[in-house]
Structure 1
Amino acid sequence: MVEDLDDFFEDRGQWEGPSGSDMDLPPRPPRSRREIRRNRKSRKRRNLLKVLLSALLAIALILGVSYLVSRIHRQGPIIGSSRDVADDYPGPGETPIEFSVDTGQSAQQIGANLEKAGIVASQRAFVQSVNGQQLADKLFPGTFELKTRMKASDVVAILTDPSKAGGFLEVRSGDRARDVIARAARLSGVGQGDFDAIVSSGGRGILPSEAGGHFEGWFEPGRYDVKKLGSADKILRSMVERRTAKLDLLGVPEGEDRQRILNVASITEAEVNKAEYYAKVVRVIDNRLGRGMPLGMDSTVAYSNNVTALKLTNAMLQNSQDPYNTRIRKGLPPTPIGSAGDDAIQAAMNPESGDWLYFVTVNMDTGETRFSTDKAQFDEDVKLYKQWESNHRG
């Protein structure tokens, strides 16, 4: 209590000179234990604040460095900011030049090659344009027709357009072998004769025995760098090996069963354009074969005559000498009629349960297909298709 009273009066005391005015004196020492404690707490608060600020600055620095490292790791060096404009040509370009992009090349690697070829003014301009448009994962492999001294953004527009990529063969589900080989010869620059010689020899050393010497059905859909492969043997071997690997992955039985499944799947792929119908079509094929009925598939006749189903003539459909004419001949055709996709192959192994014997795609725009068990319903469905055909005939 005494200390509190002393503190009370000391806190309110005045330092005065003889005449009552303030004197020019040095800072006085603390007047009481309370002031000492107050000063000590104030210093502690200031020191704590300094520690907290230092910790926050350290955390911010660590987070900033981590972000920059992760971004560089994902995208490569960050260049081309508003204060770091890369050298660039104004375009549109001068001398035509071929330029190739390999599978897996980064924007930095492509940009360096473009600069070396004199196509862009700098690697940095190209990378800046790619990153600015977030197109790093849209750069396609292939051979492109470019020009020297092009604007970097114009080069990016071409290298991200798959239709401009030459040298890469696209095999699609349903493609016929003859068409695939013709495109492979044109894109690779390898002579058509080189391919024809291998086909004539029955694909010896390339095709499995169950293929019976025929490439049809044995090309796996996908993209192939045929220009880089460089020879007919390597190109054909690549497509067949990828097909074999995919069939193994899908669990397709080997030997004659494998060839039969590819045959059924290829017809299914050609007959309807919606995967939801594949398993039903396979069931129709199995049911008709089981009853000893001709398959009656226009797609097989179109294949042997190298036309689309819409261009079939009565003469083609009535040609009994055609081994692929399943309107007349019973059983499956001699070979598959195209490269079936995964969905059709899986449907060929797992047909849907049902007793359908007929189907008709009644609307070629929507792909609507109707299945039936009797000829009368089939005839009615054919009328619907004929009506659609009449309405769309040019």
Structure 2
Amino acid sequence: MDLPGTHNGEPGRRRGLRRRRALVAIVAALAVIGGGTWAAWGTLGPVVARFTESDDYEGTGTGAVDVRIASGDSGRTIGANLAEAGVVKSSSAFVAASRAQPKMAGIQPGTYRLKEHMSAAAAVSLLLDPAAKVTTRLTVPEGLTVKQVLALVEKTVGLPAADLEKALADPVALGLPAAANGNAEGYLFPATYSVNPGESAADVLKAMVTQANAELTNLGVPPERMHDVVVEASIAQKEARSAEDMAKVTRVLDNRIAIGMPLQLDSTVSYAVGATGKVTTTAAQRATDSPYNTYLHPGLPAGPISNPGADALRAALSPADGTWLYFVTVDLQTGETRFATTIAEHNANVALFQQYLKDHPEQ
């Protein structure tokens, strides 16, 4: 015997189940969309719980507060740090305000000068203002010597020369590998660094050494070859401009060493006498008794003569195939370099360089 309504019960339950499943699907889809938005800015965590106006300050704030955002910081972490510093009232307010500003996905690590007791929206807006970032951008070009790097850091960052020299005197603290023999030359990797307020001279130089160690590790340079690889790379960095020519330069070095032929490099002599900006040397300079004088001493110089970049390191690790024994840059403006196997070929190339110097006496 059927009771009233029994024949419609099962279909009704199915419809209700379908409605609940549809609702769950919509919520799940929104969660995925939200997660995708956060994923564009590191790992910012799940959807933030609702907050009330009491969780947020009003206005643009007062005073000044420096807050550092580290690489990999999530939105929730940044919000918590801002709240702890007294910039915003709560992490939840900051994360909610960040979600409303898509450009926050591109926020960069660094130190930002904000204010106390800002509304979360005002804090987000100021973080996106380039003027709020007080991190100094330090770009170290390839081929500078340690002395030149220190001068650049002093000028760009404002760290005293005495502090930088003191930091160099502690190779263990800098993290220099054993192959460096306590000498930072060759291990201050050329790159762009972010220097935050309060960082010491040791912090800045250690970042460069850390990057050099990482590059050498990534290239698979074995510890027993590290010294020679960095020395050859430092020479290639000074003698050539393109990655292709650097690989040819290191082949010339290896070919000469293999037959006991002195390297006779003006670049190493210039380093020995402190004339790193010169492309030629005098007879008196070439007679200087220095372990870096490759006219007087066979084999590689005592150590690196510059701080090489990745291309030069790769060139030293994998020289080009060839029988060249000579090279000379024949155009200092374009960097065109000629390679030769015989002395006759080389002399012809040297004549081109000499003509270039006559045509460009200012160089």
Shared fold (TM-score, shorter chain, > 0.5): yes
Conservation of the 8 A alpha-carbon contact between 1:119 and 1:146: yes
Separation (CA, whole Å) in 1 of partners of 2:21 and 2:151: 62
Separation (CA, whole Å) in 1 of partners of 2:80 and 2:17: 43
Conservation of the 8 A alpha-carbon contact between 2:270 and 2:281: no
Instruction: Classify 1:215/1:314 alpha carbon distance in 2 versus 1 (closer, same or farther; 3 Å).
Output: closer
Identity of aligned residues (%): 33
- 2:237 counterpart (256, 269, 276): 269
**Alignment match, 2:165:** 196
Instruction: Classify 1:153/1:232 alpha carbon distance in 2 versus 1 (closer, same or farther; 3 Å).
Output: closer
- 1:321 counterpart (288, 294, 298): 288
**Alignment match, 1:67:** 29
Q: Once the 2 structures are TM-superposed, how far is the Cα of residue 284 of structure 1 from its aligned partner?
A: 0.9
Q: Determine helix, strand or coil for the equivalent of 1:143.
A: strand
Gaps of 5+ in 1: 1-42, 80-85
Separation (CA, whole Å) in 2 of partners of 1:130 and 1:388: 61
Separation (CA, whole Å) in 1 of partners of 2:139 and 2:212: 14
Separation (CA, whole Å) in 1 of partners of 2:12 and 2:328: 82
Q: Please tell me the root mean square deviation across aligned C-alpha atoms, in Å.
A: 5.0
| Equivalent residues in 2 for 1:351-362, closer than 5 Å | 351-362=319-330
Instruction: Classify 1:78/1:316 alpha carbon distance in 2 versus 1 (closer, same or farther; 3 Å).
Output: farther
Instruction: Please tell me whether residue 165 in structure 1 is matched to residue 135 in structure 2.
Output: yes
Separation (CA, whole Å) in 2 of partners of 1:185 and 1:106: 33
Q: Which amino acid aligns with 2:287?
A: S
**Alignment match, 2:317:** 349
- 1:102 counterpart (60, 67, 70): 70
User: Which of structures 1 and 2 has the bigger CA Rg?
Assistant: 1
**Alignment match, 1:17:** none
Residues 58-113 of structure 1: CA deviation (Å, up to 9, x unaligned): 5653443223222433415789xxxxxx99968xx986664432232234544565
Conservation of the 8 A alpha-carbon contact between 1:96 and 1:146: yes
Instruction: Please tell me whether residue 259 in structure 1 is matched to residue 222 in structure 2.
Output: no
**Alignment match, 1:215:** 184
Separation (CA, whole Å) in 2 of partners of 1:145 and 1:361: 48
What TM-score comes out, normalization by structure 2 length?
A: 0.66
Q: Once the 2 structures are TM-superposed, how far is the Cα of residue 287 of structure 1 from its aligned partner?
A: 2.0
Q: Determine helix, strand or coil for the equivalent of 2:128.
A: helix
Q: Determine helix, strand or coil for the equivalent of 2:263.
A: coil
Conservation of the 8 A alpha-carbon contact between 2:269 and 2:285: no
Deviates more, 1:139-148 or 1:345-354: 139-148
Instruction: Please tell me whether residue 247 in structure 1 is matched to residue 216 in structure 2.
Output: yes
Q: Once the 2 structures are TM-superposed, how far is the Cα of residue 328 of structure 1 from its aligned partner?
A: 6.0
Q: Once the 2 structures are TM-superposed, how far is the Cα of residue 237 of structure 1 from its aligned partner?
A: 5.4
Conservation of the 8 A alpha-carbon contact between 2:234 and 2:304: yes
Instruction: Classify 1:354/1:314 alpha carbon distance in 2 versus 1 (closer, same or farther; 3 Å).
Output: closer
**Alignment match, 1:155:** 127
Separation (CA, whole Å) in 2 of partners of 1:351 and 1:387: 28
Gaps of 5+ in 2: 1-6, 39-43, 49-55
What TM-score comes out, normalization by structure 1 length?
A: 0.62
Q: Which amino acid aligns with 1:345?
A: L
Instruction: Classify 1:219/1:369 alpha carbon distance in 2 versus 1 (closer, same or farther; 3 Å).
Output: same
Instruction: Classify 1:254/1:307 alpha carbon distance in 2 versus 1 (closer, same or farther; 3 Å).
Output: same
Separation (CA, whole Å) in 2 of partners of 1:317 and 1:63: 83
Q: Once the 2 structures are TM-superposed, how far is the Cα of residue 349 of structure 1 from its aligned partner?
A: 2.8
Number of paired residues? 336
Instruction: Classify 1:249/1:267 alpha carbon distance in 2 versus 1 (closer, same or farther; 3 Å).
Output: same
**Alignment match, 1:33:** none
**Alignment match, 1:20:** none
Deviates more, 1:204-213 or 1:366-375: 204-213
Conservation of the 8 A alpha-carbon contact between 1:252 and 1:258: yes
Separation (CA, whole Å) in 1 of partners of 2:209 and 2:271: 21
